[in-house]
Amino acid sequence: MSALPRLCDAGFAPRYDRAAMTAGVVHLGLGAFHRAHQAPVFDALAAGGDLRWGVTGVAMRSPGVVAALAAQDGLYSLSQRGGDEAAPRVIGVLKALLVAAQDPEAVIAALADPDTHLVTLTITEKGYLDHGPASAAGLIARGLERRRGLGLAPLTILSCDNRAHNGAVARDAVLAAAQGAGIGDAGLRWIAEQAAFPATMVDRITPAATPAMIAESSALLGREDAAAVWTEPFWQWVIEDRFAAARPDFASAGVQLVADVAPWEAAKLRLLNAAHSTLAYHGLLRGHRFVHEAIADAQLAALIEQVWDEAAVTIDAAVVDVAAYRAALRRRFANPALPHALIQIAADGSQKLPPRLLATLGERSDRGLASPALAAAVAGWVVALGRIDGLADPLLAELQPIARGTESPSAILARIAPDFHAETEIDTALAALRETA
Ligand code: CS2
């Protein structure tokens, strides 16, 4: 089969002038999520005639995705699965492709390009822990410092990762990296005062692409697409309305611009992501492989409803209709057309649990409320650490003793969620789960 650029011959090509498009965006973290979530927005803007928002796509480490996309001239197809199926849509916004670990200077140059106005980040929760010169934060710090030296406008940095207060987290990481890189006071002040780090809430369930997905998309296209992505029909992006300089007409592409993202962020993390993590650990322990299988297990479905009942009281009902949100999640999780592997969601629990489960537990315990379902969810993580092979985590070495059951998880919970103080509830849930699971 011929590769994707030939789609132009077949009439699938994006209907805008890719050659005339400039790269107004540098995106760090070129995984499936970016290709399913932010890239279609820039694609819609280009289709609407604004060609300033092409993307320089940067993979932090892995050259594989960049090689696959480069062989296709940056084109790839995005397929919506479940509900309103549509033909794969070819996205053409990736103008340039880089691997940060191989060519950090090229990334800094892209960040310091006069055409660049926005940086979007999907570097996962743990991506903000690293403040070294080659990290995302390090590259952004050096890019901003170069812009200042060149007399260019600052940038808006949009974190699109599932961290609480992701804008502030990104800002802290960039400032720490700038300090580590020896950037002086004037440069630090310029970053702190001129660059913008709005909070954002991103949502679209997008599993890592599998060979089967790639084969099926390629067959539908009649052309090989080694970078094909499958995603769900649902899509949401809420951005705090605070930009440093030029910005696209995001609202025209369906993005919600709001004064305060916090209520959206809480609903997303504490309802969707909390349920995902609960299903991942308990589902794997009960022998399931995919989200749609786990949610069809009556025992797990009941646990998820209890997790949602417990989380609901911490969500601002004036902004988010929790009942409607829950109803939508039940449908989205049950989607059989989009196999979403539990083992992928189960990765990096030490980074994911604090905003998804531990913050809610802490808030409830402050109000004198017990949280048996949330505690059971956390206990699922601890038991899964000991029983499920292949769970990735940046703190894996420290987690070994609790995985083996030789240590209570209290110390690690206190470390990953300093405000957390519901250890007794976790110990009780853990003892109960160890007896039954
Ligand atoms: C998932 C998320 O992998 C995970 O941890 O919970 O990636 C989830 O699919 C997205 O946040 C949905 O928007």
The answer to whether residue 172 is domain-embedded is: yes
Residue whose token pair is 């913050």: 359
The answer to whether residue 2 is domain-embedded is: no
Ligand 1 pocket mutation, candidates 345, 350, 351, 352, criterion most atoms within 8 A of CB: 345
Angle between helices 359-366 and 298-312 (to 10 degrees): 50
- For residue 372, the SS3 value is helix
Query: Which alpha helices (H) appear in 13-76, and where do they start and end?
Result: 32-36, 39-47, 63-70
Which pLDDT tens digit goes with each residue over 285-304?
A: 999 999 999 999 999 999 99
ipTM > 0.95 for the complex: yes
Q: Is the pLDDT of residue 1 over 80?
A: no
Q: How many domains does the chain have?
A: 2
- pLDDT band of residue 15 (cuts 50, 70, 90) is confident
d(CA 282, CA 353): 14
b vs e for 128-137, b when ≥16 Cβ sit within 10 Å of the residue's Cβ?
bebbebebbb
Residue with the smallest CA separation from ligand 1 atom 4 is: 345
From 258, 288, 310, the end of a domain falls on 258
Query: Which alpha helices (H) appear in 287-409, and where do they start and end?
Result: 291-295, 298-312, 322-334, 342-346, 349-353, 359-366, 372-387, 396-403
From 258, 285, 307, the end of a domain falls on 258
Q: Are 175 and 147 found together in one domain?
A: yes
The answer to whether residue 191 is domain-embedded is: yes
Q: Structure pTM? A: 0.96
The answer to whether residue 1 is domain-embedded is: no
Span from the CA of 191 to the centroid of ligand 1 (angstroms): 30
Residue 62: which domain range? 7-258
- pLDDT reported for residue 323: 98
Ligand 1 pocket mutation, candidates 81, 273, 291, 342, criterion most atoms within 8 A of CB: 273
Q: Are 107 and 225 found together in one domain?
A: yes
- pLDDT reported for residue 7: 55
Q: Are 244 and 281 found together in one domain?
A: no
Q: Is the pLDDT of residue 3 over 70?
A: no
d(CA 431, CA 412): 17
Q: Are 395 and 305 found together in one domain?
A: yes
CATH number at residue 295: 1.10.1040.10
Q: Are 247 and 286 found together in one domain?
A: no
Share of the chain above pLDDT 90, in %: 89
Q: What is the mean pLDDT of the chain?
A: 95
The answer to whether residue 243 is domain-embedded is: yes
CA dihedral defined by 13, 17, 22, 24, rounded to 10 degrees? Answer: -60
- For residue 26, the SS3 value is strand
Residue whose token pair is 């103080």: 421
Q: Are 187 and 285 found together in one domain?
A: no
- pLDDT reported for residue 11: 60
From 258, 280, 305, the end of a domain falls on 258
Q: Are 43 and 125 found together in one domain?
A: yes
Q: Are 167 and 312 found together in one domain?
A: no
Which pLDDT tens digit goes with each residue over 83-130?
A: 766 678 999 999 999 999 999 999 999 999 999 999 999 999 999 999
- pLDDT reported for residue 4: 65
Q: Are 156 and 270 found together in one domain?
A: no
CATH number at residue 60: 3.40.50.720
Q: Is the pLDDT of residue 6 over 60?
A: no
d(CA 131, CA 67): 27
Q: Are 216 and 295 found together in one domain?
A: no
